[in-house]
Structure 1
Amino acid sequence: MPSTIAHARVPKQGRSRQSFERIIEATIELLRERAYDQITLAEICQRSGVSTGSLYGRVDGKDDLLRVVQVRFLERLAEQFSEEEARIAAGAQGLAQVVPAVVTGLGNLLQENASVLRSFMLRGAVDEVIGAAGKKSALENHAKFIQLVLSCRDEIRHPDPERAVETGMLLIYATQARFLGLDSTGRLDEAGSWKQLLADLSDMMLAFLLFVPRR
């Protein structure tokens, strides 16, 4: 993950660093409330208590600020994934427990951070820097959960366990993201409840891993 230094002139003095941190935190707070294109730099400055001049002393504009915020946010998200990975590894045993735990864990992390991730994903479609960072983060985080499922390799009947797990997790992520409206095409929450979706995805993943295709 790139450093915030790549997108901003990070201050070295303590008070200035604190002001910059307030800018980052205020931006994350606002992204939890509204979409990126509905937020202004003036609002960020008002929320953080930092002058507009000070903000422009650190970044060249709103796009650079969003890149800085993404770096910080994805660092925290990686920590959340690691903590969830450890929790599942300590509490779930066997494929029948690990798969639902992984599906639910992934879904809950996406749901908890949906509003912020939505802004990154939409902006990433036109900003190569944000798009690349988001993709890298997703691959690294999902790899943790993929390895959890593959730890039950002996129970998987599919002839290609790695491909089966990776394909299954990709479809699970895509469905959860679509349900939560993380892309530009809208939400699917009218199709049923979130808990029911997680249960259905768990059942489908288990069925796929235990299926022996005729080839």
Structure 2
Amino acid sequence: MSTATHHTEALALQALSRKPRQGRSLASFERMLEATKALMIETGGDSFTLQDVSERGQVSIGSIYLRFESKDRLLHAVIAEELQTILAKERAMFDEVLAETSSLGEFLPLYIARYSTFLEEHAPLLRTIMARAEVDPAVSEPGKETARRSSEMSIAAILRFRDEIKSADPEAKALAVFQIIFATIARQFGLGSTPESSDPYLWGFIKDEIAKMALAYLRHAD
């Protein structure tokens, strides 16, 4: 089990007071999580009540307290689920991109396009998780470990084309390329301290140019 998975699963287990069983209890539990997730995205944080969750998820307050002893624990469960989902979907995304490409020139533009779509999809909830991690120690470590595992997957994917990287230290170049790509995408979708205005036309141009710059950098001999 990876460290990221360990911390995230621990967060999920600690959040629950009582595990749901199959049938109606499981369906009710899933509605709690979905309602909470929707409210987190809508409010940009946690400025909602358990009554709001109850009404949105069509579950009783008693049912919520049966599973979670507090609103914080419910938030932790949602965050843990999202972090686990992110890693699973990211692995699948990389498997698909690597299966479709056979060179750096093919990989980089497809990777950037798919990765940006992936982060855009999860950005609304990721922003709330990042904000929560700044003030909640229980979320901070799972968030950091998930981010590290995510970066490791990107770097490992780039290094699949190690033979094309002109450097005595290909790992350092792969890390630099990932950091540039992530920072640019994160800025586009507001995954940072200050959300940026999104410009779809400009982003369409920039992500193509980033792929060209990254390819030139990786293939340039030190």
Same fold (TM over 0.5): yes
Instruction: Write out per-residue CA displacement over residues 53-101 of structure 1, whole angstroms, 9 at most, x where no aligned residue.
Output: 3212322333221211111112222221121111111111101111112
With normalisation by structure 2, the TM-score equals: 0.86
Amino acid at match of 2:59: V
* 2:114 paired residue among 105, 110, 115: 105
Match of 2:183 in 1: 174
**SS of residue paired to 2:212:** helix
Q: Please state if 1:145 is matched with 2:154.
A: yes
Contact 1:100 1:199 in 2 (8 A): yes
With normalisation by structure 1, the TM-score equals: 0.89
**What's the offset of the Cα at 1:186?**
1.9
Amino acid at match of 1:5: L
- Counterparts in 2 of 1:1-215, with a 5 A limit? 1=5, 2-3=8-9, 4-14=12-22, 15-189=24-198, 193-213=202-222
Contact 1:122 1:183 in 2 (8 A): no
**What's the offset of the Cα at 1:142?**
2.8
Amino acid at match of 1:18: A
Instruction: Write out per-residue CA displacement over residues 31-65 of structure 1, whole angstroms, 9 at most, x where no aligned residue.
Output: 34341234332221111111223212322333221
State the superposition RMSD in angstroms.
2.0
Contact 1:41 1:52 in 2 (8 A): yes
